[in-house]
Structure formats: structure tokens, C-alpha cells
Structure 1
Amino acid sequence: MAIASDHLSERESARDVAVWDPLVRLIHWSLALTILVNGAFIDGESKLHEWIGYVALGLVGIRLVWGILGPPHARFSAFPLNPARAIRYVRAVIRGDKIVHLSHNPLGALMAYNLWLTVIVLGVTGYMMTTLRFFGIDWVEQAHELAFNWLLLSVALHVAGVAFDTWRSGVNLVRSMVNGRKRIPDGTKVE
């Protein structure tokens, strides 16, 4: 299905394609920052922890709206939630296909939805712990802690997946999430 291509150096021929709009990039890096700050530097019992959690929840909410109203590569239709497609993609990668997806690849799409859902669970359970009805309720605290541990694992897998896909495809995904453009080696099949 895909045209195999060798990894090209920056000096060899490639084309730049605009993919990530400024709002997608701002939300991505802001969400990463809220997760880092809340998980590593802020006391989980503090009011600041709550407010950073609400910011993270708000960022996900804006991104979900942008998945409907945003430009083509930001829309959910560009990276549908499709586990069967993700399995086919993994098989193609194992075969050595080097196809490049302008939006998320099918496995990356599953990860994006997973990360958003996990932040929502964290936000909801975090909010519940501030209410009289659910304050001190063991299952709510355990759900919040379990969701945070799942988020840490997911972030680690996300970073590993980005590193692997950058190596596999020759497209620097971190740079594309900074400048909004994917530099795609010529001869590479694009979806």
C-alpha cells in the first residue's frame, strides 16, 4: 500500500506540508505543561492543583470542540477512532511500510482519544473530591489515582510512539508540533 522510502537527511529533497494549526499546537503543549506541573511539582492537596486540573480539563474541552469546527487536519474525521484501522496500520508498519499520515496515524489517533478521555476522568474525579458528597470517598480517590497512573503510562507510550514514528517515517513529529508543518521525504506515500 505504501511506497517504501529511505530515511532522508534534511539536505535531501522533501516537501513541507502545513498540518497543525496554532490552536492545536497551543492546546497540545499547554496540556503537556499542565500534566507535567500538576504531576511533578504541585502538591495534590493544594488549590493550585485543582485550578491547573480545571485548566487541563478546559483545554481538552476546547480541543474537542475544535475537532468538530477546526481546520481539516484538526477534525476528528482526519483521525477517526478506529481500532481495526490501528491494527491494520501496525501490521503495515511491521511489513516495513513508511506511509505518513498528515494528521495522526491510526495508532496515534487512539492515543489522542485515550489521553483526552483520561484527562476528563481526572478532571471529573478531581472535581468530585472537592464536593461534600464525594469528599473522602475511597473509590473516587482511587479512580483519580488510577487515572493519573494510566495517564503517566499513556504519556510515556505517546512519547515513545512519537520517537519511533519519527525514526520510521523520517518526519520529525516534535518539530511539526512546534512549527505546524510536516517535512515529508519525497517519494513517501501520504494519507
Structure 2
Amino acid sequence: MKGFEMSNDPKAIAVWDPLVRVFHWTVAIAFFVAYFTEGDPLIVHVWAGYTIGTLVVLRVIWGFVGPKHARFSDFVFAPWTVWSYFVSLVTFRAKRYVGHSPAGGAMVVVLLAGLAATVWAGLETLAAEENAGPLAELSLVSSASADPAPASQFRVASEESLSGESGEREEGDREGEESAWKEIHEVLANLMLFLVIAHLAGVALASVVHRENLPRAMVTGRKRT
């Protein structure tokens, strides 16, 4: 793009390490795969979710032990600093940061938290509806404790009737739990899509304001000094 500093500038410096770059693009691909498959085929949707969850955990760990610009301490700012930067960005007066800007850092934290919540809701949905995934065993234990085995196999007719009604109520509760988790998962996924779009808009605006190709920098790992 005309006017932008190219990442092959001899004065460019290394900013984004390989793990940050691989995390960024792999999570982006996995999110869109999971979002647009919507569970059909289920195995693709599930493994995309597993990929996201694993990478989020690794990125959080890397945020404490990774190199300077990968650490949360480098890009987590006070709320008023984030707001001040955002105002200056939309008015084209924002200060340039070599690493994540205050607004960019805030978006990283929000996206990580949102992805973690979405994956967790997906795992709960998988356990409730398919009796599968890492939370399935916990779901079975919960069901077993809520539905103890009868003390005797011999029941009078009235007891059998009551037992049947109880079973129907428990089944209804189970279906309600499945529906609730599925709805939460879908709401979170749609919220994440909105945040991703906002993130892309922010990157585009910052690239123009700072006259720097930020997507290219996330590929090469290098930015101008």
C-alpha cells in the first residue's frame, strides 16, 4: 500500500515472535471454520473448537513467559489510557506503539476471554447433547447424583406412576439444560464474530493512521523502528 513502510525495510525490527503469529492466524482460521460449520459436520466443528481452546491456553501462558511484546505486561493498560488512545485514533492523532497499542491490547484480552467462554459453552453443549467431550464424564456424574437408583425393584402401581412422572420431569430438565447451553454457545459465537469484525476495522484504521501495514507485520513479525 502506497505510503506504508514495508516490513523488508533494513531498519525494521523483529516484534512478533513465531508463536504469536501462528496463534493469531491459526485461531482466525479455526474460528471461521467452527462458526460456518455450525456443528455440521460435527467432527469438524468440534475439532476447530478444540484447536481454539488449546491455543488460547497456550497464548495465556505465553502472555506471562514469552518475549517482551507477547507479554500482557507490555500491552495491558488502564481503562482511561485505552479510551484516550481510541479517541486519538479516530481523530487521527494517535501515538504509535511498536507492540500492541492500548486499544489493540484491550481487544486481545477481550478476544481471549470471549474465545475461552465460547469454547467452554461448546464443551458443555457437546457433553449435554452428545455425551461426548472432556466434560461428558462430569455431566454423567451430575446426572447420576440427581437420579439415584431405586432402593427396590418392586413398586406398587401408584409408585410406578409417580416414578414415571418424575422421569419425565428429569428428562425435561435435561433437555432444558441442553437447550440453554446451546443458546449460550450460539450467542457467544455471534458476539465473537462482532468482535472480530470490530478488530479488523480497528486494524485497518490503525494501519492508515500510522501509515503501516499491520496485517503484513503479523505475517513477517517485523515493524519499522
TM range, smaller chain = 0.7 to 0.9
Which residue of 2 is the match for residue 166 of structure 1? 207
Q: Percent identity?
A: 32
**Partners of 2:47 and 2:3 in 1: how far apart?**
44
Change (3 A) 1:15 1:95: farther
- Residue 154 (structure 1) aligned to one of 187, 195, 201: 195
2:50 is aligned with 1:54: yes
2:85 is aligned with 1:89: yes
Which residue of 1 is the match for residue 13 of structure 2? 17
What's the secondary structure of 1:117's corresponding residue? Answer: helix
Alignment size in residue pairs = 177
8 Å contact kept, 2:53–2:116: yes
Give structure 2 stretches of 5+ with no counterpart.
129-138, 143-173
Give TM-score, length-normalised by structure 2: 0.71
Q: CA RMSD in A?
A: 2.3
For residues 91-127 of structure 1, give each alpha carbon's deviation from its aligned partner in whole angstroms, at most 9, with x where no partner exists.
Answer: 3335542421122111111111111111111111111
Change (3 A) 1:145 1:42: closer
Give TM-score, length-normalised by structure 1: 0.83
**Partners of 2:82 and 2:113 in 1: how far apart?**
18
Which residue of 2 is the match for residue 111 of structure 1? 107
**Partners of 2:182 and 2:39 in 1: how far apart?**
15
What's the secondary structure of 1:131's corresponding residue? Answer: helix
Give structure 1 stretches of 5+ with no counterpart.
1-6, 185-191
More helix by share: 2
- Residue 143 (structure 1) aligned to one of 184, 187, 190: 184
- Residue 28 (structure 1) aligned to one of 20, 24, 29: 24
Give the superposition deviation at 1:48. Answer: 2.3
2:65 is aligned with 1:69: yes
